[in-house]
Amino acid sequence: MVQGIAVVGSLNMDIVVTVDKLPAEGETLHGRGMSEVPGGKGANQAAAIGKLQTPVRMIGKVGTEGNGTALLRSLEDAGVDTSAVMKTPRAPTGIAVVTVDGDGHNHIIVVPGANGELSKEDIDFQRHVIEQCDIVILQLEVPLETVAYTLRLAKELGKTTVLNPAPARKLDEDILRYVDILIPNEHELQVMAKLDRIDKQTLEQAARQFMEHGVGAVIVTLGEEGCFYADCDRMVLYPARKVKATDTTAAGDSFIGGFVAGYLASRDADAAIRQAQIAAAITVTRHGAQSSLPTRQEVEAVQTEWNE
């Protein structure tokens, strides 16, 4: 029986500033606009899954002020069960300051706030959520010890684990051995594997390195170049369809949500990657984080178009 997906991670209010170009060091620019958009890597991935009409529950923390309430409402509107998102008076809801240029490229600064309060004890309190799901997704916008603890618990309970190692940092074997599917982007891969460049050879070398540490499969998102997949049997490069990018914010989260929703339904990595690429391609043509995530109907419509 399909039980669904648990996302353990961050919820942020994104303060998005649009500019003609990203500023250089010490440079002051005029912005073209500013908006507040629900975000956070964990929440974005949960919303991406919910909008694809796949059962998903969120475990995380927000503050007690209005931002926290707005983030919960946004997730619920996307079809996410937020009953395991806890409120803390000890810290405000996390925020992210996102600068987006005219080509859709961005810079992001995250202030963790309540996300930094998510503890191992909170995971124990919400253990029933993990027990009742099939797949557990994590990122690195909550404390690393909480991520490690949750991965280990999920594996002990027989769940499929997915880790998006963002923001980028080096991870040791004690975390990687509990990861079934590792999904970094190319920058995160460079940091994790200490690579000077990204090409076919280094992608394969890095994937082998992670799998030697216990990772089951590696998917590297490569932006306009598509994505790379590796497991113990094969290594494949999936080219991307060309679209006009407006804003790349949440593209990776949309890909992960699309992949995991597809993988839950089929356990077929190829089919799940195709769905993930469509979801991400739609997302980059829109502004914002959760506001840019596509619905199941939109993904199916594009899938039909691409197959013709």
Distances, alpha carbon 168 to alpha carbons 82, 172, 185, 190, 191, in Å: 27, 13, 9, 9, 6
Say if residue 145 carries a ligand binding annotation.
no
Say if residue 222 carries a ligand binding annotation.
yes
Size of the chain in residues: 308
Say if residue 185 carries a ligand binding annotation.
yes
Say if residue 115 carries a ligand binding annotation.
no
Say if residue 288 carries a ligand binding annotation.
yes
Say if residue 63 carries a ligand binding annotation.
no
Say if residue 292 carries a ligand binding annotation.
yes
270 given a catalytic annotation: no
Say if residue 14 carries a ligand binding annotation.
yes
Output phi, psi for 137, to 5 deg.
-115, 135
Active-site hit among 20, 180, 253, 268:
253
Say if residue 224 carries a ligand binding annotation.
yes
Catalytic residues: 253
Annotated binding site, which residues? Answer: 12-14, 40-44, 141, 185, 221-226, 247, 249, 252-253, 283, 286, 288, 292
Annotated binding site for substrate, which residues? Answer: 12-14, 40-44, 141, 253
Annotated binding site for K(+), which residues? Answer: 247, 249, 283, 286, 288, 292
Annotated binding site for ATP, which residues? Answer: 185, 221-226, 252-253
